[in-house]
């Protein structure tokens, strides 16, 4: 099986409807507003975010989060993934009544359990939610910088990128960067190329979440390629949320041809009826990536991962060995 790596998945958004339904039974809650016939039910970005928030609210204990991360990562490993970074959101945990520390400890325990079962490596990127405002994002950054959890290696910002001015979030990113965390930020999904440019100028990230609307500005495409900024592309999310009408209008091939460094990711997999395996299959079918090109995508993800150099070397060796074995088999 082709080896894969994922850098962009929101852990609350990875909860399968069946798991959320069983959590609702445990806590005596009603999911009929956002889960119908065993699937998530929403119709636009705002109602998607509402469904996401409602599902997140049903994970309330350290063990709930350990089971969520373990389930998610085990499924990922079964599809050939050797590495995963997922986004955490202390704000969502606090809204569900759990401290950021217990939330992070639970998710970390899930990573350890999944690694013991499957060998998959995992790391966490703490995120602030942009539409919760600059104070909330700064609080998330302070938590990321001081929590001391060895598997927290990055900081990012998700949520509605059209909310607030970038300058108001600069301090949060400075706090995280000074603590030695890797930096990524959602931009160029519902905002255009100017949103990506502002994210680069104000936050100096090494990666951009989505970033696909970079394609709207040829100068910015050149800048992203030249500076080696890695885009965490989520093709299925983009089409399901209506950022592009279909795969023939998706800019992956154009950005790839321009020399931008791209990765493939599932974002919020059950909300978009996707998985890491499906994203790679979509890229193969619609963007004409052969096995060597897909392996290069995995390699880019490992190069851009927020991990220590020894772990990176180990992961890159696993990928190189699998590729060599594939060549021998052919
Ligand atoms: N696709 C997305 N864009 C922005 N924020 C998100 N949070 C969860 N999924 C998201
Ligand atoms: Zn995302």
Residue ID of nearest Cα to ligand 1 atom 5 = 159
pLDDT-based confidence at 327, cuts 50/70/90?
Answer: confident
Rounded to the nearest whole angstrom, what is the distance from the C-alpha of residue 293 to the centroid of ligand 2? 23
Q: Give yes or no for residue 330 having a pLDDT over 80.
A: no
Radius of gyration, alpha carbons of the chain:
18
Is 44 annotated for ligand binding? no
**Model confidence pLDDT, tens digit, residues 212-254:** 999 999 999 999 999 999 999 999 999 999 999 999 999 999 9
**CB–CB of 154/85 below 8 Å?**
yes
pLDDT-based confidence at 175, cuts 50/70/90?
Answer: very high
Is 92 annotated for ligand binding? no
C-alpha–C-alpha distance, residues 160 and 128, integer Å:
11
**Model confidence pLDDT, tens digit, residues 250-267:** 999 999 999 999 999 999
Ligand nearest to the CA of 86: 2
Helix axes 62-78, 100-118, angle to 10 degrees: 30
Rounded to the nearest whole angstrom, what is the distance from the C-alpha of residue 321 to the centroid of ligand 1? 34
Per-residue model confidence (pLDDT) at position 329: 79
**Residues paired with 233 in a beta bridge:** 264
C-alpha–C-alpha distance, residues 260 and 225, integer Å:
4
**Model confidence pLDDT, tens digit, residues 65-76:** 999 999 999 999
Ligand nearest to the CA of 125: 2
Atom of ligand 1 nearest to the CA of 189: 3
Is 131 annotated for ligand binding? no
Residue in the structure block whose two tokens are 């990711």: 265
**Model confidence pLDDT, tens digit, residues 2-22:** 999 999 999 999 999 999 999
Is 267 annotated for ligand binding? yes
Rounded to the nearest whole angstrom, what is the distance from the C-alpha of residue 269 to the centroid of ligand 2? 10
Q: In this structure, what token pair is assigned to residue 13?
A: 């958004």
- Please report, rounded to a whole number, the percentage of residues in the chain having pLDDT higher than 70: 100
C-alpha–C-alpha distance, residues 77 and 71, integer Å:
10
Q: Give yes or no for residue 55 having a pLDDT over 80.
A: yes
Ligand nearest to the CA of 207: 2
Is 194 annotated for ligand binding? no
**CB–CB of 323/171 below 8 Å?**
no
Strands 35-36, 39-40: pairing is: antiparallel
**Model confidence pLDDT, tens digit, residues 78-101:** 999 999 999 999 999 999 999 999
Strands 261-264, 39-40: pairing is: unpaired
**Among 67, 66, 74, 79, residue whose Cα is nearest residue 274:** 79
Round the average pLDDT of the chain to a whole number and report it. Answer: 97
**Can you list the domains of the chain with their CATH numbers?**
4-329 (3.20.20.140)
Average of pLDDT values for 111-115? 98
Residue ID of nearest Cα to ligand 1 atom 8 = 10
Rounded to the nearest whole angstrom, what is the distance from the C-alpha of residue 264 to the centroid of ligand 2? 12
Atom of ligand 1 nearest to the CA of 13: 8
Average of pLDDT values for 169-190? 98
C-alpha–C-alpha distance, residues 267 and 86, integer Å:
9
Q: Give yes or no for residue 106 having a pLDDT over 90.
A: yes
Per-residue model confidence (pLDDT) at position 115: 98
C-alpha–C-alpha distance, residues 96 and 127, integer Å:
16
**Model confidence pLDDT, tens digit, residues 36-52:** 999 999 999 999 999 99
Distances 264 to 58, 105, 233, 252, 330 between C-alpha atoms, Å: 28, 27, 5, 10, 25
Question: What number is the ipTM of this complex?
Answer: 0.97
**Among 86, 82, 146, residue whose Cα is nearest residue 110:** 86
**CB–CB of 114/69 below 8 Å?**
yes
Residues designated catalytic: 189
Atom of ligand 1 nearest to the CA of 52: 8
Ligand 1 binding pocket (C-beta < 6 A) is: 10, 13, 52, 158-159, 186, 189, 237, 267-268
C-alpha–C-alpha distance, residues 241 and 250, integer Å:
13
**Model confidence pLDDT, tens digit, residues 271-320:** 999 999 999 999 999 999 999 999 999 999 999 999 999 999 999 999 99
Rounded to the nearest whole angstrom, what is the distance from the C-alpha of residue 267 to the centroid of ligand 2? 5
Residue ID of nearest Cα to ligand 1 atom 3 = 159
Per-residue model confidence (pLDDT) at position 37: 96
């Amino acid at each position: 099986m082709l080896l894969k790596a994922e850098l962009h998945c929101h852990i609350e958004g990875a909860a399968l409807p069946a798991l959320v339904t069983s959590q609702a039974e445990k806590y005596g809650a009603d999911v009929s507003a956002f889960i119908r016939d065993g699937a998530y039910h929403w119709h636009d970005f705002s109602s998607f975010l509402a469904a996401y928030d409602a599902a997140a609210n049903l994970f309330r204990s350290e063990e709930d989060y350990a089971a969520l991360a373990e389930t998610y990562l085990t499924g990922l490993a079964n599809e050939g993934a050797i590495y995963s970074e997922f986004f955490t959101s202390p704000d969502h945990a606090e809204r569900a009544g759990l401290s950021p520390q217990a939330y992070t400890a639970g998710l970390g325990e899930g990573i350890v359990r999944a690694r013991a079962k499957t060998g998959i490596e995992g790391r966490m990127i703490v995120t602030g939610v942009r539409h919760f405002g600059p104070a909330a994002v700064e609080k998330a950054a302070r938590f990321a910088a001081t929590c001391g959890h060895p598997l927290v290696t990055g900081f990012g910002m998700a949520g509605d990128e059209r909310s607030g001015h970038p300058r108001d979030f600069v301090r949060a990113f400075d706090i995280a960067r000074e603590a030695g965390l890797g930096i990524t930020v959602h931009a160029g999904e519902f905002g255009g190329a100017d949103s990506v440019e502002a994210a680069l100028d104000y936050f100096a990230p090494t990666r951009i979440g989505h970033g696909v609307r970079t394609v709207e500005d040829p100068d910015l495409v050149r800048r992203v390629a030249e500076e080696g900024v890695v885009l965490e592309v989520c093709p299925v999310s983009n089409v399901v949320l209506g950022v592009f009408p279909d795969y023939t209008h998706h800019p992956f091939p154009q950005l790839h041809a321009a020399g931008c460094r791209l990765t493939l990711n599932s974002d919020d997999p059950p909300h978009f009826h996707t998985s890491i395996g499906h994203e790679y299959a979509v890229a193969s079918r619609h963007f004409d990536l052969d096995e060597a090109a897909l392996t290069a995508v995995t390699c880019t993800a490992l190069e851009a991962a927020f991990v220590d150099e020894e772990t990176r070397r180990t992961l890159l060796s696993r990928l190189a060995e699998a590729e060599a074995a594939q060549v021998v088999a052919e």
